[in-house]
């Protein structure tokens, strides 16, 4: 019996990841497709899909892609090593929560003293709450995002806010009208999102992946700025349609 293969778009829909993520896993040597066509298309067999499920499980456990790659390349991974690494992450997370408590305490004391925290102070607290609670970014990546935020002029910040609200309105309208994910209007929304993420992250693919993971994981977070879980899932389907079309 000949071996069965699946294309990137089909694997993405089956497992619940993006085609872009599959390409990234290939590029960093984490998940090598079982076959590449002469045209360069990636084809995955059952063993590849099982490995992909392992990767996603370890990601949910809190490991980075680099750590997962190292673990999976070991012939017989040591369970105690995995637990030890997770313990280190839990210790780091505890330190983050203590830092968050101290930061919030300072803001509360400032408010009780009738002093208004600066916009940057509040933005920093929000950043800590968003990206540290589940360890999405490193300290250096958080520093990069803060620098980009602070470099915006008042006019540019206002323009971005207006563009964002317009995007959310158009996305919500398209979702309520059940607009086809491969329609030109829907694909225009996907292009805006991709451009927005690239601009916000300085075109850093690791930061961009962290943004997507944050919105995918935090289903009930109140800091989503209008991008509800339903709208984000709809947006993901639009992006997958665009990636599948580009990959075919």
Q: Residue 39: what pLDDT?
A: 84
Architecture of 1-77 per CATH? Orthogonal Bundle (1.10)
Highest mean pLDDT of the ranges 97-106, 130-139, 161-170, 225-234: 161-170
**CA dist., res. 54 & res. 48, Å (int):** 10
Which range, of 73-77, 129-133, 141-145, 152-156, averages the lowest pLDDT? 129-133
pLDDT value at 220 more than 70: no
Percent of the chain with pLDDT over 90: 15
CA-based nearest residue to 192, from 151, 240, 239, 139: 239
Q: Residue 134: what pLDDT?
A: 44
- Report the pLDDT averaged over residues 125-142: 53
3-state secondary structure of 36: strand
Please name every residue paired with 36 in a beta bridge, in sequence order, or none if there are none.
Answer: 42
pLDDT value at 209 more than 80: no
pLDDT value at 132 more than 80: no
- Report the pLDDT averaged over residues 191-215: 72
pLDDT value at 64 more than 80: yes
Q: Residue 136: what pLDDT?
A: 53
Torsion of CA 74, 80, 85, 90, to 10 degrees: 150
At 96, is the pLDDT very low, low, confident or very high (cuts 50, 70, 90)?
Answer: low
Percent of the chain with pLDDT over 70: 63
pLDDT value at 26 more than 90: yes
- Report the pLDDT averaged over residues 200-215: 66
Which range, of 117-131, 138-152, 196-210, 216-230, averages the lowest pLDDT? 117-131
pTM of the complete model: 0.42
Which range, of 60-69, 142-151, 178-187, 191-200, averages the lowest pLDDT? 142-151
Q: Apex CA 238: angle with CA 167 and CA 34, to 5°? A: 145
**CA dist., res. 170 & res. 183, Å (int):** 14
pLDDT value at 74 more than 90: no
């Amino acid at each position: 019996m000949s071996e069965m293969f699946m294309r990137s778009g089909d694997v993405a829909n089956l497992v619940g990841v993006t085609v872009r993520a599959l390409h990234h896993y290939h590029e960093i040597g984490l998940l090598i497709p079982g076959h590449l066509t002469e045209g360069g298309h990636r084809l995955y067999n059952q063993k590849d899909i099982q490995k992909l499920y392992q990767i996603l499980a370890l990601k949910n456990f809190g490991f980075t892609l680099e750590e997962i790659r190292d673990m999976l390349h070991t012939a017989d991974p040591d369970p105690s090593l995995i637990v030890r690494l997770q313990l280190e992450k839990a210790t780091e997370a505890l330190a983050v929560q203590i830092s968050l408590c101290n930061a919030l305490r300072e803001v509360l004391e400032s408010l009780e003293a009738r002093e208004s925290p600066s916009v940057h102070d509040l933005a920093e607290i929000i950043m800590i709450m968003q990206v540290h609670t589940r360890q999405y970014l490193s300290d250096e990546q958080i520093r990069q995002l803060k620098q980009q935020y602070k470099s915006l002029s008042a006019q540019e910040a206002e323009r971005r806010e207006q563009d964002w609200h317009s995007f959310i309105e158009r996305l919500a309208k398209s979702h309520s009208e059940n607009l086809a994910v491969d329609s030109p209007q829907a694909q225009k929304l996907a292009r805006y999102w991709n451009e927005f993420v690239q601009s916000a992250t300085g075109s850093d693919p690791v930061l961009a992946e962290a943004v997507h993971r944050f919105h995918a994981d935090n289903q009930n977070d109140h800091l989503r700025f209008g991008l509800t879980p339903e709208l984000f899932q709809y947006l993901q389907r639009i992006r997958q349609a665009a990636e599948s079309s580009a990959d075919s």
